[in-house]
């Protein structure tokens, strides 16, 4: 299997090359040259086993293929259960049972498992850059912490992540450093993309990315959607809380390989780049606005390039998806109401998907839907606890991380200052 850039100006790459590079040399994102079809899979397999079989065609002809079982065993150590909600016809796909209590653990651990195998004999450390709106950084930090030959710079928008997220990001130390950037998540993304695309800087400081632009994070995210869909009675209609479009594109890729996934709907917060696009307006990236579902505060979703590439053009993309906007007041109302009525406590991101599901019901849609639950509510205690009127129990792995001390360094949203910082690390 070969991988090509969404911008079409870079030579095709092998899987290993694409994963090691992060971003294609023309600034585009790597996508499979052709989407393979996945053969029949057992309905009741273990997540790690199913993931390995599902991803095998993507690893064909690559040196990493021999390691795929081991990579999946490391990445899919936590379960991703799909369970019934008390809301009629609704299921929740719980993706928050990993070490940092958000779905990004799966992708980060998979990428780490791949990169450590690819870099085994190198003398130079590889610097992983990760821009985060909250959860990615912690997942990547946890996945690479104390891994030899690799170091991680986490960039997050200062004051725009939850206190517990900030604590997690700064809690690693050693080979993982946290930078609190004066700006938005999009500023963080610009710094990372700028550094990765700077050939002179690359020569001094070998770098790769761990954002959802990285193929090594996107591929494994297909696996839990596929695994869940195999368990559903009919093609699994799915609502995905969406920011940078990584999880949603992974779900669409899984569908394209022939897995039984039905409609895919993107639940967005007040950042309406995607809802506007799906309502028929031209795609227009913009600055992010802060919301209480902060890991989705994205105004210029990077994976939009992959979405457009997948369907060939924007009109075709619109025919295969749908996005809805959920504002903070609706998120709060959803969390409050479910805690009171059925005892379910959702994180603000998951609540956007629940809200979209409720709207579908109000419009007369009677189909079964599965909502991706992207984080544990305890990560957002300062928002969730006042709404539900009680303490939200902290899962063990999160409690361990919160018990450590934490610190982050300030960073201006300025590419030259950031490049300098990297050179002097």
The residues of the shown chain that bind ligand PLP, judged by CB under 6 A, are 102, 104, 134-135, 212, 241-248, 295-296, 349, 374-375
Return contacts of 411-418, CB within 8 angstroms, 24+ apart: 411/155, 411/179, 411/180, 411/181, 411/182, 411/191, 412/181, 412/182, 413/181, 413/182, 413/183, 413/187, 413/188, 413/190, 413/191, 415/190, 415/191, 415/194, 415/195, 415/198, 418/155, 418/191, 418/194, 418/195
Residue 402 backbone class (left: φ over 0; alpha: ψ -120 to 50; beta: rest)? alpha
To the nearest whole angstrom, how small is the minimum distance from the Cβ of residue 273 to ligand PLP?
A: 12
The residue length of the chain stands at 425
Q: Give the SS3 label for residue 241.
A: strand
To the nearest whole angstrom, how small is the minimum distance from the Cβ of residue 384 to ligand PLP?
A: 12
- Residue 394 or 419 with smaller CB distance to ligand PLP: 394
- Residue 16 or 271 with smaller CB distance to ligand PLP: 271
Place of tokens 């499979």: 32
To the nearest whole angstrom, how small is the minimum distance from the Cβ of residue 244 to ligand PLP?
A: 3
Nearest to 93 by CA among 81, 79, 102: 81
- Residue 127 or 221 with smaller CB distance to ligand PLP: 221
- Residue 127 or 273 with smaller CB distance to ligand PLP: 273
To the nearest whole angstrom, how small is the minimum distance from the Cβ of residue 291 to ligand PLP?
A: 11
To the nearest whole angstrom, how small is the minimum distance from the Cβ of residue 149 to ligand PLP?
A: 27
To the nearest whole angstrom, how small is the minimum distance from the Cβ of residue 67 to ligand PLP?
A: 25
To the nearest whole angstrom, how small is the minimum distance from the Cβ of residue 4 to ligand PLP?
A: 21
Contacts of 11 (CB under 8 A, 6+ apart): none
Enter the tokens of residue 30. 């790597």
To the nearest whole angstrom, how small is the minimum distance from the Cβ of residue 357 to ligand PLP?
A: 16
- Residue 239 or 419 with smaller CB distance to ligand PLP: 239
Cβ(328)–Cβ(291) below 8 Å: yes
- Residue 98 or 241 with smaller CB distance to ligand PLP: 241
The Cα–Cα gap between 222 and 416 comes to 36
The Cα–Cα gap between 214 and 129 comes to 11
- Residue 32 or 246 with smaller CB distance to ligand PLP: 246
The Cα–Cα gap between 103 and 108 comes to 9
- Residue 126 or 326 with smaller CB distance to ligand PLP: 326
């Amino acid at each position: 299997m070969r991988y090509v850039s969404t911008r079409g100006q870079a030579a095709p790459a092998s899987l290993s090359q694409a994963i090691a590079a992060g971003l294609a040399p023309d600034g585009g994102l790597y996508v499979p040259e052709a989407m393979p079809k996945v053969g029949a899979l057992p309905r009741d397999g273990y997540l790690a086993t199913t993931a390995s079989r599902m991803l095998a065609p993507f690893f064909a002809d690559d040196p990493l293929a021999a390691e795929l079982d081991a990579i999946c065993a490391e990445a899919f150590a936590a379960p991703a259960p799909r369970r019934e909600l008390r809301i009629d016809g609704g299921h929740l796909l719980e993706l928050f049972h990993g070490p940092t209590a958000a779905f990004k653990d799966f992708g980060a651990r998979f990428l780490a498992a791949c990169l450590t195998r690819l870099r085994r004999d190198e003398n130079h450390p590889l610097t992983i850059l990760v821009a985060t709106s909250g959860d990615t950084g912690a997942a990547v930090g946890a996945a690479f912490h104390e891994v030899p030959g690799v170091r991680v710079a986490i960039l997050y928008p200062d004051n725009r992540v939850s206190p517990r997220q900030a604590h997690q990001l700064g809690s690693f130390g050693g080979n993982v450093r946290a930078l609190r950037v004066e700006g938005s998540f999009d500023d963080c993304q610009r710094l990372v993309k700028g550094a990765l695309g700077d050939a002179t800087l690359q020569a001094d400081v070998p770098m790769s990315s761990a954002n959802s632009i990285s193929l090594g994070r996107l591929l494994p995210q297909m696996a839990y959607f596929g695994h869940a869909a195999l368990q559903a009675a009919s093609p699994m209609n799915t609502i995905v809380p969406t920011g940078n479009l990584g999880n949603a594109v992974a779900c669409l890729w899984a569908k394209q390989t022939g897995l039984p996934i039905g409609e895919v709907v993107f639940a967005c917060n007040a950042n309406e780049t995607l809802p506007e696009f799906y309502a028929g307006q031209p795609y227009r990236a913009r600055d992010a606005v802060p919301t209480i579902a902060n890991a989705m505060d994205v105004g210029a979703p990077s994976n939009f390039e992959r979405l457009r590439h997948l369907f060939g053009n924007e009109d075709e993309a619109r025919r295969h998806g749908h996005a809805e906007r959920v504002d903070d007041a609706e998120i709060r109302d959803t969390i409050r109401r479910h805690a009171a009525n059925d005892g379910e406590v959702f994180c603000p991101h998951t609540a956007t998907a629940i809200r979209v599901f409720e709207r579908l019901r109000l419009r007369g849609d009677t189909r079964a839907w599965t909502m991706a639950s992207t984080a544990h509510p305890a990560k957002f205690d300062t928002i969730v606890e006042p709404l539900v009127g009680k303490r939200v129990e902290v899962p063990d792995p999160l409690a361990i991380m919160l018990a450590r001390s934490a610190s982050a360094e300030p960073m201006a949203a300025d590419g030259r200052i950031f490049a300098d910082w990297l050179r002097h690390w």
